[in-house]
Amino acid sequence: MKPNFVFSLLITPLFLLTLHSNANTATYIIHMNKSFSPKVFTTHHEWFKSTINSLKSKTLLLDDHDYQSHKKLVYTYDNAMYGFSAVLSSNELETLNNIDGFVAAYQDRTATIDTTHTFEFLSLDSPSGLWHASNFGDDIIVGVIDSGVWPESQSFKDHGMTKKIPNKWKGTCESGQEFNTSMCNFKLIGARYFNKGVIASNPNVTSIYMNSARDIVGHGTHTSSTVAGNYVNGASYFGYAKGVARGIAPKARLAMYKVIWEEGLLASDVLAGMDQAIIDGVDVISISMGFDDAPLYEDPIAIASFAAMEKGIVVSSSAGNAGPDLGTLHNGIPWLITVAAGTVDRTFGTLVLGNGQNIIGWTLFPSNATIVENLPLVHNNTLSSCNSMKLLSQLYKQAIILCDDDSISNPRSVFDQINLVAETGVLGAIFVSDNPDLIDLGNVYSPIIVIKPKDAQSVIKYAKSNKNPTASIKFQQTFVGINPAPAAAHYSSRGPSHYFPWILKPDIMAPGSRVLAAYIPTKPSARIGTNVFLSNDYNFMSGTSMACPHASGVAALLKSTHPKWSAAAIRSALVTTANPMDNTQNPIRDNAYPSQYASPLAIGAGEIDPNRAMNPGLIYDATPQDYVNLLCALKYTKTQILTITRSSSYDCENPSFDLNYPSFIALYSNKTTSMVHKFKRTVTNVGNGAATYKAKVIQPKGCVVTVSPDILDFSYRNEKQSYYININIKYVVYKKKRVSFGDLVWIEDGGTHTVRSPIVVAPRGIIGF
């Protein structure tokens, strides 16, 4: 029987799971030291199973019946981390703490989960760009950690794919409920599912609904088709955005690891999925979810992505959807890519006045059967408040009503108006709003259009100055090139990371609002009125969950073009070539604060620029030991570091705050009158040969930034050179507690390459630190 469960289509659905009713029993993730594994055991699984069984004889509080019903080995891990997850009582956990090889344990936790045009918006269709240089990501394998996949979608057909799967692939297509192995092909080469953590942590779950890799949520189908979906002609959302759908890396292979269930989303399952992806041989991991309020040594994504990074696997993750407040970002992890969400230069629908004036607006009403044409246009003080069911009902099939903008007194008024109009069945309505919540996330349930306040005055003037004003609403129209775009999406979580603020996050921004991608046909993607639900094979969704697979796809293209680059090198290329300007050639704005330019805490270095990332000029590389050196400098304990690295081979002999990162953040205390932050960086010349770069600094307000040396001369390709940057924070910054930002740009003589690194100066108080 299907459980009663509600999941939001838009962004950030939060799964809440209750632990065992026994307050002393819960699911724990246990980290073990591999060097302590007894030689008598041939596999890690045998050792961990024996360890669990040994607890029985050492724990006397439970009788055999209680013991068997409560204790259970859930997963064993050997790649993403070294250890296991199990259901344990508090007494058993205490006993486990004293076993040789025990490193750390923490309770399982829940997570939040955060196209036909976006490839053009990112200029991937350039004949000399990254698409062609990478052969569209041919034979790169992307592992997607998500809610599953709808294998019948046209986006996952394998036409045009080479008929030989890469030898590095060790995965499989796992059969299950309504999913058999024949559903995989040369595009979708793998599908697995992981739900033992959900089952172990909730005794009320007696069976899993759709116990297979099949997607019943829609999230995983959408993200996986965004990153590497195949070409699909005529894809659209009920006629909107009609065109050829394709993923960012359309020739890459896909492998789905389902960890999101209607019954919950737990760390132990995420770890198991990422562990398997590493074993299977993926090149890129795309994960559009995150764990809030988790330090690195308890964050399964941080732990698993460290293991992936060691093996050269690029991990791309979503920043979260808790914006626009600062310090709300998750996945602020130094060794992966953290992606913010931006808007796209596209809108839909037109308002046509009787005098011939055309106003481009926004609508996604999903029906072409409704004709809203040459109807009387009504605007008066009584009706246009659009808050009376009785008065609006009188207009049914009679007119188009222009609803007044009441956003100053009630920012949510337009949502109330739209819902009321849908309930009354008014034939047509015009709403006035520039609320980004509506444009990015709102739904349309009736024949309406939204126009901007700047356009409303001409409509009102026409309605009042004509005896018989009329209007028409044109649906299923698509307009691109709308400006300004991109802008920072208001919902996108802002940095810095609460648990790791010493690295500037997010790294980059990618399209995240109203992204069209494949969807599941069993779940409504549109509604008309109050009780008519429609499904569609492609759907618009918004969130950093949608931005992340764009970056994952570009990372796959770069991996194909530069197969020897490390994960850090690929991230560096994306960051230093990102575009901070919108399509009006002005700095990207912040949709949450329209009068302000977006700070790097909202957009990172800027909008991802795939073609420039292919040839960045200089890169900032980093080794696993470099990340450990940072953890050591931050006084992480030996146990905490071992939890992340799984190996005692790393040391703390050279602790350093100078992680070779392609951006800078300087945190200051309000108690100090002056402060100087000094950073060292090393860049590698990946250009064609000898080159000279000169430093240019865009100074953050209230700061003086100096670079030494300010000229870097390279004699050959792959040569490394180091420089120092000093950020002197002045009193005015402290006094106003402001966030200030600028750039360091290395410009090659001749202008072939510009290598830009954002600089942020911020008070510690913005994250309660």
> How distant, in Å, are the alpha carbons of 78, 257, 275, 281, 527 from that of 143?
18, 7, 11, 9, 33
Enumerate the β-bridge partners of residue 314. Answer: 284
Tokens of 272: 């198991």
Angle at 481 between CA 476 and CA 486, to 5 degrees: 110
Token pair 């007044």: residue: 404
Distance CA(115)–CA(118), nearest Å, equals 6
**Count of alpha carbons within 13 angstroms of residue 670, beta-carbon side:** 11
Closest CA to 293 of 328, 335, 339: 328
Amino acid at 341: A
Q: Read off the tokens for 658.
A: 């100078």
Which of 551, 573, 553 shows the shortest CA–CA distance to 562? 573
d(CA 363, CA 235): 18
Contact 316, 284 (CB under 8 A): yes
Give the SS3 label for residue 163: coil
Task: Decide: residue 1, CB within 10 A, 0-12 exposed, 13-18 middle, 19+ buried.
Answer: exposed
Q: What is the rounded radius of gyration, in angstroms, for the C-alpha atoms of the chain?
A: 27
Angle at 181 between CA 178 and CA 186, to 5 degrees: 125
Torsion angle, CA of 404/407/411/414, rounded to 10 degrees? 20
Could you tell me which residues come within 8 angstroms of residue 726 by beta carbon, excluding any fewer than 6 positions away? Answer: 676, 677, 678, 679, 705, 706, 707, 708
Rounded Cα–Cα distance for residues 41 and 54 (Å): 14
Residues assigned a catalytic role: 146, 219, 545
